[in-house]
Amino acid sequence: MNSKPCRFGLIGYPLEHTASARYFAKKFEREGLSDYSYSLFPLMNVDEVRHLISGTPGLQGLNVTIPYKQSIIPFLDRLDPVAEEIGAVNTVAIRPSGQGFELTGYNTDAEGFRRSLRPDFHHKQGLVLGTGGSSKAVTYILRKMSLVVLKASRTLKQEGVISYQEINGDILEKYTFIVNCTPVGMFPDVYAVPDLPFSLLRPYHEVYDLIYNPVETMLLRFAREAGTKVQNGQKMLELQAELAFDIWMGARP
């Protein structure tokens, strides 16, 4: 595998919402990395990933977004222990091997999320909307921080997961930190909003939406109007991207 050009990219589908390519283009320009580039690879099926890599000279790393953060795992050769514990991957390092290349999966969403939290974070219980790969990373961090976590899902029914219809005043009185880990409200469907009882939100709540496009989702708008603290996913995007780049550069073998 050639060292130049140094290519990186993002796989997922669709990719119209993402700001990753712009972020890395600015980063490479700022740091004088003229031989580095970042591309979007909208894959209809995750099983195309190894063919993509073998057909893209110089590709050294990938980010992974919806809907492939969990389904990519069987196509990898190795998993970082944190990614294995979370059960989701958003970063892949591509390294030469005797078989051509070896793929190692990492999760930088988790640490990026942790570092993005407010310095005065004080919540004891968290309500996580969604059960996908991002939800797994967020839940992992919140539990590491000793929070009690409850998940809400439109479809999945299992222990520790409730339906949106079950989110009531008693639930919201206990679970004061609410994190949207679903794509509901993401560009281009910007008027969509998770089915939350916004009238029950209070100033002691905090609503964190992992979505960063648009900057203010309808979820964050309604939460802000209810008087709660709000935060979007822009800071997390940047932090997880920097962690991914460190992995690609070999800072973490």
Q: Which residues are catalytic?
A: 69
CA-nearest of 129, 231, 163, 182 to 17 is: 182
Query: What is the bridge-based pairing of β-strands 91-97 and 59-64?
Result: antiparallel
Look up residue 179 and give its two tokens: 């994190």
What's the rounded Cα separation, in Å, for the pair 177 and 229?
A: 10
Q: What does each C-alpha distance from 70 to 18, 87, 90, 132, 135 come to in angstroms?
A: 19, 7, 9, 8, 11
Which residues are registered as beta bridge partners of 79? 105
Contact indicator for 187, 19 with CB cutoff of 8 Å = no
Contact indicator for 46, 100 with CB cutoff of 8 Å = no
